[in-house]
Structure 1
């Protein structure tokens, strides 16, 4: 009697044997509205605004904007997620809400750790030198002074703002928008983050800086972080992110692999 060879079962891997995915951000049916003020009437804008606060009068011409409408998703540790969509689709609004800078009207946002929002207009002090902004920016992110001092040279070198002169010793107001954005990213990227939110900061700067930025984002992901990236550059999204969320008119149109979502979005914009 012959014995048939033993075959290894081909059943799918059980859930218990799959690597655990740790959620870092969960949005559950999120709605966000904000008020857009109309044209100012009367004299003394600031005085008039204070008067309206104390007299509880509405701003003339004010209207409500429903910027985010019932958005739900879960982000996991180690992911880089791109946010794409037309102007006014709710991308930046959603990032600000994840960062805790905007209230949610309905639904909930749950985060692991403290999300850090980096935008082109991130607050650095224009009257201070780049050097002082590096120190203060690092302290504001929770680094000790010793940690800032240890990473100072790397931050300046990464930004590249000293390649054509000693700009780090000049006030920030003398910087171009690209120089300022590069310095902001360099400060933020000097520290590991549970969740790093980047709003258009990689759209400025040359190809070399964008390449370094993408490499740093990959390092942050490897350090168990999650990165969200808003960009109008579809190539930046596909090169930097493995997943994308497509927002349109405040609603989540698609959530999936970055290349597939970008392709669907580009097909949509061509039809429009």
Structure 2
């Protein structure tokens, strides 16, 4: 029997690979929603009691296969864009990585607890923007002293005071864009192992987007991993060096942002 020829790998390649630290591993993940067929009136408590009394069968359940066998690995220092048409599974995938949606099959493995930032993230409408900043920062584990020191920076970053003292007003007086900018400013004030951003960069003017994109680059530089869902390919190109394209819950393409965006535009 002959001796197999061994291929030598350059030492610098081995070193580069060894230094890549995985932060998120998505392994053959399937996410399935189960939806009751028929009118909502047939799925309430009264309808359920009638079925028990009459021994009738439960309503048919329709399954929606939202994510279909998606696999990839993300590493420290990466900013990864998620693109795809409406209903392609982008936000569902973020929620699954964040641990809010359990996969029906497969697994998600993460470094630390991922932080999900969405435009619908909850802030308390009856409290002022400044008070929401305080509560949000405390909830992220900051000390009261640091919160007091960093609050003016967060408010300035969000830009909510550019047209008046909105920081002292209740959140219910804010536009949707102002609320989204404040959510981003609060979340981005902390270094995250994994930060998941759903459309937040698309809610402000050009000046805010520039600030946001710079902050994402700073988070990456401090060994964090950032995922960005956006319909704005401009934001993806400006912020992310790697992009994942989902379509119909399937991973269509994963690679350098420019290549993936060009393929998406030419679909």
Counterparts of 1:125 and 1:59 in 2: how far apart (Å)? 38
CA distances 1:45-104 after superposition (whole Å, capped 9, x unpaired): 97558869x999987575221100000000000000000001111100000010011101
Which consecutive aligned stretches of 4+ in structure 1 deviate over 6 angstroms post-superposition? Answer: 54-59
Matches within 5 A, 1:45-194: 48=46, 60=59, 62-194=61-193
1:178–1:30 Cα change, 3 Å: same
Counterparts of 1:35 and 1:170 in 2: how far apart (Å)? 41
TM-score, with length taken from structure 1: 0.88
**Which residue number corresponds to residue 257 of structure 2?**
258
Larger CA deviation: 55-64 vs 187-196 = 55-64
Task: Report the 3-state secondary structure (helix = DSSP H, G, I; strand = E; otherwise coil) of the residue aligned with 2:41.
Answer: coil
Counterparts of 2:26 and 2:108 in 1: how far apart (Å)? 5
1:40–1:226 Cα change, 3 Å: same
Larger CA deviation: 248-257 vs 123-132 = 123-132
TM-score, with length taken from structure 2: 0.89
Larger CA deviation: 138-147 vs 245-254 = 138-147
**Which residue number corresponds to residue 249 of structure 1?**
248
For the aligned residues, what is the CA RMSD?
A: 2.5
> Is residue 2:16 matched to residue 1:18?
yes
Quote how far apart the aligned CAs of 1:40 are.
1.5
Quote how far apart the aligned CAs of 1:267 are.
0.7
Q: Is the 8 A contact 1:115 1:193 kept in 2?
A: yes
**Which residue number corresponds to residue 229 of structure 1?**
228
CA distances 1:123-178 after superposition (whole Å, capped 9, x unpaired): 11111111111011111222122221111010000000011111111111110000
Gaps of 5+ in 2: 1-8
Gaps of 5+ in 1: 1-10
Task: Report the 3-state secondary structure (helix = DSSP H, G, I; strand = E; otherwise coil) of the residue aligned with 1:224.
Answer: coil
Kindly tell me the number of residue pairs found equivalent between the two proteins.
Answer: 257
**Which residue number corresponds to residue 8 of structure 1?**
none
Task: Report the 3-state secondary structure (helix = DSSP H, G, I; strand = E; otherwise coil) of the residue aligned with 2:123.
Answer: coil
Counterparts of 2:77 and 2:71 in 1: how far apart (Å)? 19
Task: Report the 3-state secondary structure (helix = DSSP H, G, I; strand = E; otherwise coil) of the residue aligned with 1:143.
Answer: coil
Counterparts of 1:95 and 1:58 in 2: how far apart (Å)? 35
Matches within 5 A, 1:28-47: 28-37=27-36, 38-41=38-41
1:57–1:200 Cα change, 3 Å: farther
Counterparts of 1:48 and 1:77 in 2: how far apart (Å)? 51
